[in-house]
A and B are shown apart, each in its own frame.
Chain A
Amino acid sequence: MMPAVAFADGALEDTPLLSVRGLSYHYGRQLGCRDVSFDLYPGEVLGIVGESGSGKTTLLSCLSGRLPPGSGSIHYDMAGHGLTDLAGLSESELRVLMRSDWGIVHQTPRDGLRMGVSAGANIGERLMAIGARHYGEIRAAALDWLARVEIPANRIDHLPQSFSGGMQQRLQIARNLVNKPRLVFMDEPTGGLDVSVQAKLLDLLRGLVSELGLSVVLVTHDLAVARLLAHRLMVMKSGEVVESGLTDQVLDDPHHPYSQLLVSSVLQV
């Protein structure tokens, strides 16, 4: 028998993009999430599943810099600096990071879009925020991204208000990916959409994530969405991670009583 050796595949990166240790957040005396730790590597999609009120969105808000963690640490692999404690960044440094390196896809497109400006401006604004000034190039990039998210080019000057829910969500995705972020946070990206629209969006997301090599933290209560998009899962209950591991292992061989309940509660179609 050959000895089992430590894993040393050159294709796998050694440095995580995001490293979280002991993260907790309380709303006053009410627990939001407690003692969450994980590493997210480049190209990995981490799904966070659990019922509403389990702390998924609180955790996502802490990770994406929208809520200051009560305790614990978040380190991010900043270009040129290596793993950096986000708590040590100034407000403006954090904003620059969020604009240039990160994307946030909200469940409700209205939260992630500017409803008062055109579809093209929604995409172009992100490029301008990181320094793009050439109108022709910005418009070309906006057209390219509209095509990639399957929105007809002749809608470029329309307001998002005139778009269907599915189109608004695809526009929000284009707006978030045009900057080529390394890390994208997604909060129930397919929630509230018809299943046929969901399927299109999922297919699109799956393709873009693998094509762009994105790292994603995906919050969803839909286990089918998690199975399709996530490489690995964390199951949350009452603010804590009760089980984590490879997506198909957690879904097909759940160990924690709550994970078993969650998986067995899904209706078969």
Chain B
Amino acid sequence: MADPVIEVVDLAKSFTIHARDGLTIAVFNGLSLHVRAGECVALHGPSGSGKSTLLRALYANYKPDRGQVLVRHGQNLVDMASASPREVLAVRRLSLGYVSQFLRVIPRVPALDVVAQPAIDLGTDPNAARDKAAALLTRLRIAERLWRLPPATFSGGEQQRVNIARGFSVDYPALLLDEPTASLDAENRATVGDLILEARERGAAIVGIFHDAEIRERVSTSIFDIQSAKRAA
């Protein structure tokens, strides 16, 4: 069997809130998970069970207390939990994509450039990157008259689709998806489902949170129950 692209080993994460006398909230402990090329693991569990926290720990946005998050980066496995900031940024640029729930808007940057930027940062010819960005925005039904505008004034659904287009603008070997279809209509949900399946077909390893049961069943290859993972610990 192929080697995993993402391998989580004995991961623990808690939050200590100093303003509340050092109150500590344990989120998960001893969590292990692996994802191979072409697999899509759907994180499952009720709201507040730590799905987003796990996803953010995989992206090194949150710092785990213990354990490893190994991500394939070229010929290497990089431990996102202990890598230096510039190593983490290199992995994010090339190997690990992330679609967050909300678009972080940068003033003055037009939607087309928001989407094309990750590929340009990797050295793709800017025109080629913008062509691909345009194709993604078209598929996600963002009207062409909006491409030249910064997304700050877009609706929630439009911003989310720009965010998704950005996440799929580079063919990352590993991809993290945090409720990519949350504020989308049926047609766009189906398009996002297509994009995820295409990513799987080209061999991406995916971890996602999908509240929508229909899309979850369509794209995922396995379900990871975060609560039973916690109980086992």
User: A-side interface residues toward B, CB under 8 Å?
Assistant: 1-5, 7-9, 11-12, 41, 44, 199-200, 202-203, 206, 210, 228, 231-232, 245-249, 252-253, 255-257, 260-261, 264
Contact: B107 with A9, CB < 8 Å? no
B86 touching A231, Cβ below 8 Å: yes
- Whether the Cβ atoms of B16 and A255 lie closer than 8 Å is yes
B3 touches A12 (CB 8 A): no
The distance from the CB of A20 to the nearest CB of chain B, in whole angstroms, is 16
Count how many pairs of residues, one from A and one from B, have CB atoms less than 8 Å apart in the complex: 84
**Nearest CB to that of A257 among chain B residues?**
B18
Q: Which of B61, B77, B86, B107 contacts A3 (CB 8 A)?
A: B77
Q: CB of B89 within 8 A of chain A?
A: yes
Can you list 14 A-B contacts (CB < 8 A)? A4-B79, A5-B76, A7-B76, A7-B84, A9-B74, A202-B107, A203-B106, A245-B63, A253-B15, A255-B16, A255-B63, A260-B17, A260-B18, A264-B19
Query: In the bound complex, do residue B17 and residue A9 qualify as a contact, i.e. CB atoms below 8 Å apart?
Result: no
CA distance A196 to B16 in the complex (A): 37
Given A9-B90, A203-B106, A261-B19 in contact, is the A4-B77 Cβ separation under 8 Å? yes
Give Cα A257 to B17, complex, Å: 8
Closest A residue, CB atoms, query B17: A260
Picked from A1, A246, A252, A261, the residue with its CB within 8 Å of the CB of B85 is A246
Contact B90 A12, beta carbon cutoff 8 Å: yes
Tell me if B87 is interfacial: C-beta within 8 Å of chain A: yes
Across-interface contacts of B76 in A (CB, < 8 A): 5, 7-9
Does A1 lie within 8 Å of B17, measured CB to CB?
Answer: no
5 additional A-B residue pairs with CB within 8 Å, beyond A7-B84, A9-B74, A231-B89: A1-B4, A7-B76, A7-B87, A253-B56, A260-B17
CB contacts (< 8 Å) of B108 on chain A: these are 199-200, 203
The answer to whether residues A246 and B107 also contact, given A1-B4, A260-B19 and a CB cut-off of 8 A, is no
Q: Which residue of B lies closest to A11 (CB)?
A: B90
